[in-house]
């Protein structure tokens, strides 16, 4: 039970007197007055409806143009205007006595200018005439209930506007006057509330037997009951002198203690309107308590039952009734005047509450007025500011929390940044994250609050929310937790939300758990595992070298994440470049060697850098090894690697490595593979290995002749006794004719130990060979001169003497010649038929033609090669005897222009004959030689 004395009073309505509209001449402004004798009234369909003591019904529209008609001969006692239909139901008297009549009027139809009366029937319960006390009609026009002073209730079911379609019956009988009736429709269920002066009952009209239930054993006076709207669940309101009760069809609801004798009760837009007697006046009877004298003062109170306050309270003189129409309340007093109560707008009401710091009440009022979220948020903000200024920080933060989503969070955060209010700030930030409205800065601030408060429980609840409930920036949270030293929490977040870089960074740099970091990398997909090993490989190799090496082997061959349950081959082709991980082993040569050897074994196509590094590593180990057996083994391993054929493309690099580590066998092998024979010999020269120098010359002298010359110069510069080696070199030079004798003498002149006896045999042999050669050349010259003289004589003879053909046999068939025959200057004769059968040209001898063609081909070849300058230069440069090359080209006629006349101009027969003769002579000469 709520005591109304505790409810605050407000003036949420403006009271004005209804005044007459201005006339044509502008006159007006006087209070509007109704005709005298008004007894009943109602409202709806845009009109205020009145009934008077003379039987007239009046209609007052908003324009205040009053109109009426004669409805009864005597008086009108009851009116009921339907809200959803233009139907008016009235009860009145046409004659003296107890003869009440019910008339149903259709206001949309006219009968002689008046509304059409569609139905008239007497309001008498059975055969006992009595006074009608109350009247109500269902909005669906299927039910009408009339209450009487003798306690009876008559129910009309069916179309209330027609007699033939309706049925009237007595629903209720009792000994106490019926003071109130109300229909309640809920879905398809219809109830009728009946209240008397002594009890309250509800009837279920949706069933045939009209079952009923007594709700209470006390009642109320006339006009002291009403039905609420759906906001109060269509409850039946009964106002007694002590309390106001609310009823459901099957039970009693809440009760409100509003004292005072109730005269009129209405429900309007969520407000309960009660007109009661002023406490200063003397009490009067309950029944027909509204029949007060004109001097009586009455109090009109408007209650807000939801928000528990009095919205308006005012004193009136003898209220007839309170009507609701056009969005306002109209209070009709006995003197015929009308007062209008206009509700203030929601913003005005809220401002009034704000001025009194009644924020809770303002919030409730805003909700009941269905104010939007922006308006509510502003109320919450003002309420929070009020509490904050009063020092109630806990209450203030609760109000600020209700503004989340509308109010900028920084407005609140700035107020609570003080360390003493960190609890409040934490609560606000928590809610901000729960509503997924926090940014990275808010997450940072909240986590800092947790760490300042050392509230590990709340911190774990915050970060260990399920993935679907994560409402914060994970990376920001990881940074803050790491900075605050909550490494385990940061690692949990990083692992859960797959922030691999942060997980590894914390494990390696803060927790120093290298084994766990390595295990985590082994679970990652290939691309991420590869990038992280490049980044953290050196750190891991320094602390867990063995495990790191194994992971790198796996990563560079056939990588499979350790947590992958699928079979092998799912990542086929995903292999890291082993060469890129060599820097990881900077200070771990043993692991590096194991890694590189593993890669060369399982992948023959490993990058070149792998083999280069492995060679360098083996050479280093060989150079620093002291144990002879191990050193020999390392020597063989390095040489085997060199001979694997993997260093052809990086020959220079491998050679530099071997030279740096003084790996003799490797250097010599690479020189040999690169055909660097001079370098091989120079290597032996530097080491003064004379026999090796001779061996090199013997092995590679045929490929590079200058080796013998260099060897002779080397021994010539030695001050030691090298006669044996010089003699061996000179012997080979002599056999191959590699150097002129004078150059040999000049070379050996630098050796102080070499005497003439060393080259005596060489010079003697050389001079003898040259003498023989001179003699042979002289004989050949004389032969050529004699042959030239003979040929010239033959040419002269052919020019000056006749040619006698004495051949008796054919040169082809060897048979005796018979005419006709063919003779050539070369001395060959042929049968004409043999010549024609075997000859290819009429001007050439078939027997001499092959030899002549060879000569002609040689001449043509010489002509073509005359301008081959590059070829001549190449042969001259590469030949051991340049003079012979020049002589050969002189012999080909390269250095003189050769003119060969084959065809002559017409008209010069003598010249033609001479040319032919020269050609024949040339052919004859070539054949003879």
Q: Which of 684, 622, 698, 921 is nearest to 801 (CA)?
A: 921
Is residue 845 one of the residues assigned to a domain? no
Q: Is residue 24 part of a domain?
A: no
pLDDT score of 489 more than 50: yes
How much is the pLDDT for 56? Answer: 94
Under 8 Å between Cβ of 866 and 842: no
Instruction: Lowest mean pLDDT of 435-439, 558-562, 574-578, 740-744, name the range.
Output: 740-744
101 domain residue, yes or no: no
End-to-end CA distance of the chain: 157
pLDDT tens for 847-882 read 888 888 887 888 777 666 666 666 777 777 777 777
Q: Which helix (H) or strand (E) holds 66?
A: none
Beta bridge partners of 437: none
Please report which confidence band the pLDDT of residue 226 belongs to, taking 50, 70 and 90 as the band edges. Answer: very high
pLDDT class of 15 with cuts at 50, 70, 90: very high
Query: Strand locations in 55-163, DSSP E?
Result: 56-60, 67-70, 75-81, 87-93, 100-111, 114-122, 132-137, 143-148, 153-158
DSSP 8-state code for residue 45 = T
pLDDT of residue 23: 67
Q: Can you list the alpha helix ranges (DSSP code H) found in 718-839? A: 723-736, 741-748, 756-800, 832-838
Q: Is the pLDDT of residue 889 over 80?
A: no
Spatial separation of the C-alpha atoms in residues 575 and 559, rounded to whole Å: 7
255-281 residue pLDDT tens: 998 888 899 999 998 899 999 987 654
Condensed to tens digits (0 to 9), the pLDDT of residues 234-249 reads: 899 999 888 999 999 9
Strand partners, 343: 13
- The answer to whether the CB of 574 falls within 8 A of the CB of 526 is yes
pLDDT score of 918 more than 60 = no
- Give residue 516's pLDDT: 82
- Cis peptide, bond prior to residue 39, ω within 30 of zero: no
Q: Out of 36-50, 315-329, 568-582, which region has the weakest mean confidence (pLDDT)? A: 568-582
Pairing of strands 236-239, 244-248: antiparallel
Element (H, E) at 610: helix 608-624
pLDDT of residue 29: 72
**CA-angle at 591, arms to 586 and 594, nearest 5°:** 130
Alpha helices in 144-295, H assignment, sequence order: none
Range(s) of the domain holding residue 681: 675-768
Instruction: Report which DSSP code applies to 493.
Output: H
How many CB atoms are located within 10 Å of the residue 926 CB?
A: 16
For 875-901, give one letter per residue: b (16+ CB within 10 A) or e: beeeeeeeeebbeebeebebeeeeeee
Q: What is the pLDDT of residue 287?
A: 42
Q: Output 909 or 671, whichever has higher pLDDT.
A: 671
pLDDT greater than 80 at residue 201: yes
pLDDT at res. 568 = 44
3-state SS class at 652: helix
Separation CA 80–CA 92 (nearest Å):
12
- The pLDDT assigned to 672 comes to 62
Q: What is the pLDDT of residue 523?
A: 79
What pLDDT, on a 0 to 100 scale, did the predictor assign at position 292? 41
Higher pLDDT, 889 or 5: 889
| Predicted pLDDT at 609 | 67
Share of the chain above pLDDT 90, in %: 20
For residues 734 and 703, the answer to whether their CB atoms sit within 8 Å is no
Name the domain count of the chain.
1
CA distances from 859 to 376, 495, 739, 901, 926 (A): 118, 91, 35, 13, 13
Residue 447 banded pLDDT, cuts 50, 70, 90: confident
Whether 728 is covered by a domain: the verdict is yes
Asked whether residue 716 is domain-assigned, the answer is: yes
For the residues of 813-878, what is the DSSP string, one character each?
A: T-PBP-SSEEE-TTS-EEEHHHHHHH-S-TTS-TTTHHHHHHHHHHHHHHHHHTT-HHHHHHHHHH
The total number of residues written for the chain in this structure? 929
Is residue 359 within 8 Å of 383, Cβ to Cβ? Answer: yes
pLDDT in tens, 780-809: 899 888 888 888 888 888 788 787 777 778
Q: What is the pLDDT of residue 189?
A: 92
Give the Cβ contact number of residue 428 at 10 Å. 24
Number of neighbours of residue 476 by Cβ within 10 angstroms: 17
- Smallest CA-to-CA distance from 369 within 458, 468, 269, 457 is with 269
Q: How many CB atoms lie within 10 A of CB 92?
A: 26
Give the residue, 63 or 741, on which the prediction is more confident.
Answer: 63
Alpha helix (H) residue ranges in 301-358: 346-355
Mean pLDDT: which of 45-54, 490-499, 512-521, 618-627 is highest? Answer: 45-54
Using one digit for the tens of pLDDT, what is the confidence trace for 413-423? 888 887 678 88
Say if 690 falls within a structural domain. Answer: yes
Local structure of residue 31 (DSSP, 8 states): B
What are 712-722's pLDDT values in tens digits? Answer: 656 655 655 56
Distance CA 903, CA 561 (A): 91
Q: What is the pLDDT of residue 364?
A: 73
Q: What is the pLDDT, as a whole number, of residue 321?
A: 93
> Residue 909: which pLDDT band, with cuts at 50, 70 and 90?
very low
pLDDT top residue among 191 and 505: 191
Quote the CA–CA distance of 169 and 146 in Å, as a whole number. 11
Q: What pLDDT, in 10s, does the model give residues 520-540?
A: 887 788 878 888 888 887 888
Taking the mean position of all CA atoms in its chain, how far away is CA 681? 68
How far apart, in Å, are the Cα atoms of 29 and each of 36, 48, 332, 341? 20, 20, 18, 18
Give just the sign of the alpha carbon dihedral 365, 370, 375, 377: positive
Question: Cα(290)–Cα(286) distance, rounded to whole angstroms?
Answer: 9
Q: Nearest CA to 482 among 456, 461, 451?
A: 451
Identify the H or E element spanning 279: none
User: 102 pLDDT exceeds 90?
Assistant: yes
Which tens digits make up the pLDDT trace of 592-649? 777 777 777 677 767 776 777 777 777 777 767 777 777 777 777 767 766 676 666 5
pLDDT, residue 730, reads 65
For residue 604, the 8-state DSSP code is T
Coil, helix or strand at residue 634? helix
Q: Within its chain, how far is the Cα of 216 from the centroid? A: 68
How would you class 454 by CB atoms within 10 Å of its CB: exposed for 0-12, middle for 13-18, buried for 19 or more? exposed
Average pLDDT over residues 351-362: 78
Residue 723 has pLDDT above 70, yes or no: no
Nearest alpha carbon to residue 387 among 371, 373, 372, 403: 403
pLDDT of residue 315: 93
User: Which DSSP state fits 803?
Assistant: P
The answer to whether position 494 is within a domain reads no
> Can you tell me the mean pLDDT for 337-351?
87
Average pLDDT on 360-389 reads 76
Q: What is the mean pLDDT of residues 540-563?
A: 79
Query: What is the model's pLDDT at position 708?
Result: 60
Contact status, residue 540 vs residue 514, Cβ threshold 8 Å: yes
Under a CB-based contact definition with an 8 Å cutoff, are residues 191 and 142 in contact? no
When the pLDDT of each residue in the chain is averaged and rounded to a whole number, the result is 77
Q: Which neighbouring-strand residues pair with 103? A: 90, 120
8 A C-beta contact, residue 310 and residue 302: yes
Tell me what pLDDT residue 645 has: 60
CB 13 within 8 A of CB 312: yes
DSSP bridge pairs for 166: 158
| SS3 assignment, position 111 | strand
Distance of alpha carbon 227 from alpha carbon 182, whole angstroms: 6
Specify the higher pLDDT residue, 889 or 829. Answer: 829
Tens of pLDDT along 153-181? 999 999 998 888 788 889 888 889 999 99
**920/818: higher pLDDT:** 818
739/744 Cα distance (integer angstroms): 7
- Residue 461 neighbours by CB under 8 Å, 6+ apart: none
- Taking every pair of Cα atoms in the chain, the longest distance, rounded to a whole number of angstroms, is 195
pLDDT-based confidence at residue 673 (cuts at 50, 70, 90): low
- Residue 377 is assigned to a structural domain of this protein: no
Residues 589, 617 contacting (CB under 8 angstroms): yes
Split at pLDDT 50, 70, 90, the class of 324 is very high
Residue 437 has pLDDT above 60, yes or no: yes
Q: Which positions ≥6 away from 882 have C-beta within 8 Å?
A: 876
Strand-strand pairing, 2-3 and 251-257: parallel
Predicted pLDDT of residue 925: 39
pLDDT band at 912 (very low <50, low <70, confident <90, very high): very low
């Amino acid at each position: 039970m709520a005591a109304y004395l505790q409810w605050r009073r407000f003036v949420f309505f403006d009271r004005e007197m209804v005044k007459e509209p201005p006339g044509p001449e502008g006159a007006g402004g006087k209070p509007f007055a109704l005709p005298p004798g008004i007894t009943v009234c109602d409202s709806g369909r845009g009109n205020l409806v009145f009934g008077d003591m003379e039987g007239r019904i009046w209609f007052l529209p908003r324009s205040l143009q009053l109109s009426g008609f004669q409805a009864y001969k005597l008086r009108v006692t009851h009116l009921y205007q339907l809200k959803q239909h233009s139907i008016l139901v009235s009860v009145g008297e046409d004659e003296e006595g107890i003869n009440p009549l019910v008339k149903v009027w259709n206001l949309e139809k006219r009968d002689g200018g008046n509304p059409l009366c569609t139905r008239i029937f007497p309001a008498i319960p059975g055969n006992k005439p009595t006074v009608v006390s109350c009247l109500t009609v269902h909005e669906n026009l299927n039910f009408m209930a009339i209450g009487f002073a003798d306690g009876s209730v008559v129910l009309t079911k069916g179309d209330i506007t027609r007699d033939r379609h309706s049925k009237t019956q007595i629903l209720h009988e009792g000994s106490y006057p019926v003071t109130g009736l109300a229909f309640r429709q809920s879905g398809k269920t219809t109830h009728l509330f009946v209240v008397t002066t002594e009890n309250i009952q509800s009837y279920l009209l949706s069933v045939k037997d009209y079952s009923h239930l007594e709700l209470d054993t006390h009642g109320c006076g006339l006009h002291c009951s009403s039905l609420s709207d759906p906001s109060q669940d269509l409850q039946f309101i009964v106002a007694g002198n002590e309390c106001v009760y609310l009823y459901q069809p099957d039970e009693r609801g809440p009760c409100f203690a509003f004292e005072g004798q109730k005269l009129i009760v209405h429900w309007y837009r969520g407000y309960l309107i009660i007109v009661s007697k002023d406490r200063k006046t003397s009490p009067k009877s309950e029944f027909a308590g509204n029949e007060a004298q004109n001097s009586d003062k009455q109090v009109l109170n408007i209650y807000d039952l939801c928000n528990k306050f009095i919205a308006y309270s005012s004193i009136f003189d003898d209220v007839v009734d309170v009507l609701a129409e056009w969005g306002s309340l109209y209070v009709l007093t006995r003197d015929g005047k009308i007062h209008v109560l206009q509700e203030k707008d929601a913003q005005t009401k809220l401002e009034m509450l704000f001025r009194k710091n009644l924020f809770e009440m303002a919030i409730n009022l805003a909700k009941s007025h269905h104010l939007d979220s922006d308006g509510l948020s502003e109320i919450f903000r003002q309420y929070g500011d009020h509490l904050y200024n009063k020092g109630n920080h806990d209450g203030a933060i609760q109000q600020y929390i209700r503004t989340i989503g509308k109010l900028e969070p920084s407005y609140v955060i700035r107020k609570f940044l003080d360390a003493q209010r960190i609890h409040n700030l934490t609560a606000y930030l928590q809610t901000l994250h729960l509503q997924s409205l926090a940014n990275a800065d808010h997450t940072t601030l909240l986590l800092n609050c947790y760490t300042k408060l050392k509230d590990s429980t709340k911190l774990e609840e915050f970060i260990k929310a399920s993935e679907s409930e994560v409402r914060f920036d994970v990376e920001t949270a990881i940074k803050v937790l790491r900075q605050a030293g909550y490494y385990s929490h940061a690692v949990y977040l990083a692992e859960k939300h797959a922030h691999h870089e942060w997980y590894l960074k914390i494990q390696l740099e803060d927790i120093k758990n290298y084994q766990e970091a390595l295990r985590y990398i082994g679970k990652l997909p290939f691309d991420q595992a590869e990038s992280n090993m490049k980044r953290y490989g050196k750190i891991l190799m320094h602390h867990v070298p063995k495990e790191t090496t194994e992971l790198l082997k796996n990563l560079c061959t056939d990588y499979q994440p350790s947590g992958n349950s699928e079979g092998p081959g799912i990542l086929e082709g995903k292999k890291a470049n082993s060469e890129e991980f060599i820097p990881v082993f900077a200070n771990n040569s043993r692991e590096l060697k194991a890694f590189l050897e593993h890669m060369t074994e399982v992948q023959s196509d490993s990058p070149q850098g792998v083999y280069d590094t492995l060679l360098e590593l083996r050479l280093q180990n060989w150079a620093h090894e002291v144990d002879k057996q191990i050193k020999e083994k390392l020597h063989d391993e390095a040489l085997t690697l060199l001979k694997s054929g993997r260093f052809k493309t990086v020959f220079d690099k491998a050679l530099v490595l071997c030279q740096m580590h003084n790996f003799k066998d490797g250097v010599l092998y690479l020189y040999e593979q690169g055909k660097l024979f001079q370098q091989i010999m120079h290597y032996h020269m530097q080491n003064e290995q004379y026999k090796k120098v001779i061996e090199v010359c013997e092995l590679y002298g045929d490929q590079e002749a200058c080796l013998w010359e260099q060897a002779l110069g080397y021994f010539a510069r030695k001050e030691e006794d090298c006669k044996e080696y010089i003699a061996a070199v000179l012997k080979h030079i002599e056999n191959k004719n590699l150097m002129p004798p004078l150059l040999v003498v000049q070379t050996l002149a630098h050796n102080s130990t070499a005497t003439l006896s060393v080259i005596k045999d060489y010079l003697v042999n050389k001079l003898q060979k040259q003498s023989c050669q001179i003699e042979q050349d002289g004989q050949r010259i004389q032969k050529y001169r004699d042959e030239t003289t003979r040929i010239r004589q033959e040419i002269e003879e052919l020019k000056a003497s006749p040619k006698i053909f004495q051949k008796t046999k054919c040169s082809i068939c060897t048979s005796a010649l018979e005419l006709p025959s063919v003779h050539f200057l070369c001395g060959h004769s042929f049968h004409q038929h043999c010549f024609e059968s075997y000859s290819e040209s009429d001007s050439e001898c078939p027997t001499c033609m092959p030899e002549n063609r060879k000569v002609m081909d040689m001449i043509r070849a010489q002509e073509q090669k005359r301008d081959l300058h590059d070829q001549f230069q190449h042969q001259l440069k590469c030949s051991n005897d340049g003079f012979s090359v020049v002589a050969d080209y002189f012999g080909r006629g390269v250095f003189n222009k050769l003119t060969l006349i084959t065809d002559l101009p017409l008209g010069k027969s003598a010249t033609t004959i001479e040319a032919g003769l020269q050609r024949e002579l040339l052919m004859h000469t070539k054949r003879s030689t």
